[in-house]
Amino acid sequence: MAEKIVLPASVEGQAIENAVQRCILAECGAAYGIRERIYVCSRCGGPLEIEIGSVPAAKRGAELRKLWAARAASHDPRDISGVWRYRELLPFEDGAAVVTLLEGHTPLYDAPRSAEYCGLAHLRLKHQGCNPTGSFKDTGMTAAITQAVLLGARTAVCASTGNTAASLAAYAARSGLQAAILLPYGQVSAAKLAQSLDYGAAVCEIEGNFDDCMCLIQELGDDPAIYVANSINPFRIEGQKTVAFELMEQCEWRVPDHVVVPGGNMGNSTALGKGFQELLALGLIDRLPKLQVVQAEGAAPLARLFAALTPGDLRGGAHLPSRMATVENPSTLATAIKIGAPVSWQKSLRAVVGSGGSILSVTEQEIADAKAIIGRDGIGCEPASATTVAGMKKLVAAGRVRREESVVGVLTGHVLKDPDYVSRYHHGTLAIGEKNGAASRPIASTFANVPERVAASKAAILENLARRR
Ligand SMILES: [Zn+2]
């Protein structure tokens, strides 16, 4: 893919000229116009991705870096947005009316306790949960809803475990579009659903699981008034890829050895991979970080597929599998990645293999403990995000990541996305399995922080605090 990227004609112009939507399947490779309302290849049904247009060779690396850095002082909403400030590499015209909630600009934290827990000298965590609706989805949704408005859609629809829904609802509200949200009934944290309701979305609770919702969405996509903003939507990937650009600015353009991300629908790893690839092709970085994708054990179809790849598959990457065995009834308390049939698995696999990274899975216990450790760094995240630290601990223990290597973990959602989980962990009542049934498996609260009853006196409080110091 890298060699197809050419630089924009003017640094102030966007990479829109010659931009196409391209089928990613090597045997097809069909190209479609950038404003064509399609979500998969019309010829073969394969996934699409955006190929950005041309930018002149004279404006490589340093020029773009300078331009992006200069925008830090600007008050133009597009410059304040951590997505649109990189608009040279986004498939929109210069004057396009963007739908923004000033997403991006998320912090990159040092996480010393998490580093120690993993067995690393240093670990940095990029907190995408600090976006307007509390998850990384916002960086992609700003691009997708901007495209929906350009196409004249009336309703934007998605199927979601929660974070995508909240994001879609907010951006649709911002743009005046109707948001329609299909959710698996009873499988979504109340906090997440509350957000979508507050933003005015039409929420449809479907009797089925997430994958059933995905099928229905594909049918709805035939209606010309409806715009599908699911993970399958290549414009969301375009917005999300800017996380790679922002991260590299924050790293002062020194490429980390590893970037670790949770794996659910695989849009996040796909987007990061694409972002880094484009930076490499444009001469802004000189190598790729290894992408490490971490799934929850009960929803890990791609980790299983990856484990079965041969060294030849990993070296060449040209003949990666065209099929993946899905997980019928995915199971994890990390609801944001409870997905048995991830839509972006092919793109993600290609990005991971191309970077020399890997895809692995971690247990519910490992996720819960890692989450508590991240909290001790003063950083709150939702359960799915903690797969990054859990996965890194596993990679270090296996000798696949060395102590001194530089690692960035991407946290995908805010701690308040699932406060019930947090409370249960610390109170020792977290469990996975049958609801209210004997079949449920308890999660040990290894790093529990339990509230204690203390007498109503200064002396008692001081004694208690001293004991817990
Ligand atoms: Zn195709």
Instruction: State in Å: Cα 48 to ligand 1 middle.
Output: 8
Residue-wise pLDDT tens digits, 287-306? 999 999 999 999 999 999 99
Q: What pLDDT does 316 receive?
A: 65
> What's the DSSP call for residue 10?
S
Instruction: State in Å: Cα 267 to ligand 1 middle.
Output: 19
Instruction: State in Å: Cα 27 to ligand 1 middle.
Output: 8
Confidence of residue 11 (pLDDT cuts 50, 70, 90): very low
Instruction: State in Å: Cα 28 to ligand 1 middle.
Output: 5
Instruction: State in Å: Cα 23 to ligand 1 middle.
Output: 5
Instruction: State in Å: Cα 233 to ligand 1 middle.
Output: 15
Instruction: State in Å: Cα 142 to ligand 1 middle.
Output: 26
Q: What pLDDT does 215 receive?
A: 87
Instruction: State in Å: Cα 20 to ligand 1 middle.
Output: 13
Residue 227 pairs in a beta bridge with 156
Q: Which residues of 373-384 are buried (b: 16+ CB within 10 A; e: fewer)?
A: bbbebebbbbbb
Instruction: State in Å: Cα 307 to ligand 1 middle.
Output: 27
Contacts of 43 (CB under 8 A, 6+ apart): 23, 28, 30
Q: Is the pLDDT of residue 63 over 80?
A: yes
Instruction: State in Å: Cα 136 to ligand 1 middle.
Output: 28
Domains and CATH numbers, the chain: 108-134+235-420 (3.40.50.1100)
Question: Residue 128: what residue type?
Answer: Q
Task: Report the pLDDT averaged over residues 458-462.
Answer: 98
Residue-wise pLDDT tens digits, 352-371? 999 999 999 999 999 999 99
Q: What pLDDT does 302 receive?
A: 97
User: What's the Cα-to-Cα distance from 368 to each of 216, 259, 360, 445, rounded to whole Å?
Assistant: 33, 21, 17, 8
Instruction: State in Å: Cα 31 to ligand 1 middle.
Output: 8
- C-alpha angle with apex 240: 239 to 245, nearest 5 degrees? 95
Confidence of residue 459 (pLDDT cuts 50, 70, 90): very high
Q: Is the pLDDT of residue 434 over 70?
A: no
User: What's the Cα-to-Cα distance from 82 to each of 95, 148, 277, 426, 428, rounded to whole Å?
Assistant: 18, 20, 19, 35, 39
Confidence of residue 225 (pLDDT cuts 50, 70, 90): very high
Residue-wise pLDDT tens digits, 374-433? 999 999 999 999 999 999 999 999 999 999 999 999 999 999 998 999 999 999 999 998
Instruction: State in Å: Cα 163 to ligand 1 middle.
Output: 29
Instruction: State in Å: Cα 21 to ligand 1 middle.
Output: 10
Confidence of residue 192 (pLDDT cuts 50, 70, 90): low
Tell me which residue of 105, 94, 163, 100 sits closest to 135, measured CA to CA.
Answer: 163
Instruction: State in Å: Cα 51 to ligand 1 middle.
Output: 14
Instruction: State in Å: Cα 320 to ligand 1 middle.
Output: 16
Residue-wise pLDDT tens digits, 228-239? 998 789 999 999
| Other beta carbons within 10 Å of 248 | 20
Question: Residue 38: what residue type?
Answer: I
Q: How many CA atoms lie within 13 A of 300 on its CB side?
A: 23
Ion ligand 1 contact residues with beta carbon within 5 A: 23, 28, 30, 41, 43-44, 46
Q: Is the pLDDT of residue 2 over 60?
A: no
Residue-wise pLDDT tens digits, 241-254? 999 999 999 999 99
CA distance 303 to 362: 10
| Mean pLDDT over the full length of the chain | 91
CA distance 87 to 304: 37
3-state helix, strand, coil in the chain (%, to 5): 40, 15, 45
User: What's the Cα-to-Cα distance from 47 to each of 15, 50, 199, 329, rounded to whole Å?
Assistant: 21, 10, 30, 24
| Other beta carbons within 10 Å of 39 | 20
Confidence of residue 7 (pLDDT cuts 50, 70, 90): very low
Instruction: State in Å: Cα 87 to ligand 1 middle.
Output: 27
Instruction: State in Å: Cα 234 to ligand 1 middle.
Output: 14
Instruction: State in Å: Cα 384 to ligand 1 middle.
Output: 32
Residue-wise pLDDT tens digits, 118-162? 999 999 999 999 999 999 999 999 999 999 999 999 999 998 768
Residues above pLDDT 90, as percent of the chain: 75
Instruction: State in Å: Cα 22 to ligand 1 middle.
Output: 8
Instruction: State in Å: Cα 346 to ligand 1 middle.
Output: 13
Residue keyed to tokens 């699932």: 418
Q: What pLDDT does 13 receive?
A: 45
